[in-house]
Amino acid sequence: MDSTFRRTPNIHLQDLIDGLTSGNRVFLSKSITLVESKREDDKKLGAELIDQIIGNTGKSLRIGITGVPGVGKSTFIEAFGKKLTAAGKEVAVLSVDPSSNRTRGSILGDKTRMDELSKDPNAFIRPSAAGSSLGGVASNTREAILLCEAAGFDIIIVETVGVGQSETVVKDMVDYFLLLMLAGGGDELQGIKRGIMEMADHIVINKADGSNIKAAKKAREDYKNAVHLFPPNESDWIIPVGVCSAIEKTGIDEVWIEIEKYESHIHGNGWFEENRKRQSIRWFHERIQAKLEETFYAKPNIKKEIKKREELISSQKLSVRKAVDELFS
């Protein structure tokens, strides 16, 4: 964030809000950078910014996309995103990458990723948020979603770049969760756990092209059968299973048709609102926990005090309970 935003925060905050809410991409980028900043003065300003725009948020459809590396997520998002922008939608793409120590630019840095979409005036692609913990990265991404909404985006796509825990955190910030899969590998081979399949609102087998079409269709039938055995989900929705080819751009329209069906289903039964409410409350509690931890470890000399007690505890000169009480007193 450039220092002018710090010197006279009040004036510049209003500029930032005006630029952001008019849909200006540069201001949107600056706003996201501000809320991701670890500087104390930026943090304050970032919190103020989010608080001021919160009434302008919530109107997009938030779509999560997951799948193992190489399944074709970025190729899919490129094809899908272009369809949406061609239909007049404004599309933002964010990502959650917990495994990464990569600096900003993990999406755009790799030039082959979403090349066309990144040039599309109706799209906005933001590299993965930097952060030391998954919780921190997730919270930054949630705020980036809010900022994109304030800037007027209709569709926000959140991609999981890492594997493992990031599916759960992305699921918890979106309305609809798409799982991309491949044919011809066992679930185990694909690193996809049953739990992740159960989290999905839609399973699509990608790379259904060339000599792989038959295998993809066979996999679709297998997954359809598997899905019927899943316990009912909270949105009361039977997970559809489809096939597509992100490269040949086939089956992409069908994904959008399913999304629209899902959207009217969850608006009809109240799950859309209920889920959003629950997600916000969970986020609130997560931030309380994170703040508590942050405040505790920011105490003066805390590392030294902990170290000292570690030795006393290991030589049985101090009980854990007493040590903890002392640190909190």
Count the Cβ atoms, other than its own, within 10 Å of residue 144. 24
Q: Which of residues 209-238 bind ligand GDP (CB under 6 A)?
A: 209
CB of 212 to ligand GDP, least distance (A): 7
For the chain, first and last CA: distance in Å?
37
Query: Six-digit token pair at 315?
Result: 């030589």
Site track 236-275 with ligand GDP (rule: CB under 6 A), x = hit? ---------xxx----------------------------
Burial of 221 (0-12, 13-18, 19+ CB in 10 A): exposed
Measured from each CB, the residue nearest to ligand GDP is 72
Work out whether 323 is an interface residue with ligand GDP (CB under 6 A). no
CB of 229 to ligand GDP, least distance (A): 27
How far, rounded to the nearest angstrom, does the alpha carbon of residue 65 sit from its chain's CA centroid? 9
User: Is the Cα torsion angle 281, 173, 147, 29 positive or negative in sign?
Assistant: positive
CB of 185 to ligand GDP, least distance (A): 14
Burial of 6 (0-12, 13-18, 19+ CB in 10 A): middle
Kindly tell me which residue out of 46, 64, 72, 127 binds ligand GDP, with binding defined by CB under 6 A.
72
Kindly tell me which residue out of 31, 60, 66, 75 binds ligand GDP, with binding defined by CB under 6 A.
75
Kindly tell me which residue out of 55, 70, 121, 186 binds ligand GDP, with binding defined by CB under 6 A.
70
Burial of 224 (0-12, 13-18, 19+ CB in 10 A): middle
Region near ligand GDP per CB under 6 A, out of 12-20, 206-214, 262-270, 299-307:
206-214
Site for ligand GDP, rule CB under 6 A: 67, 69-75, 206-207, 209, 245-247
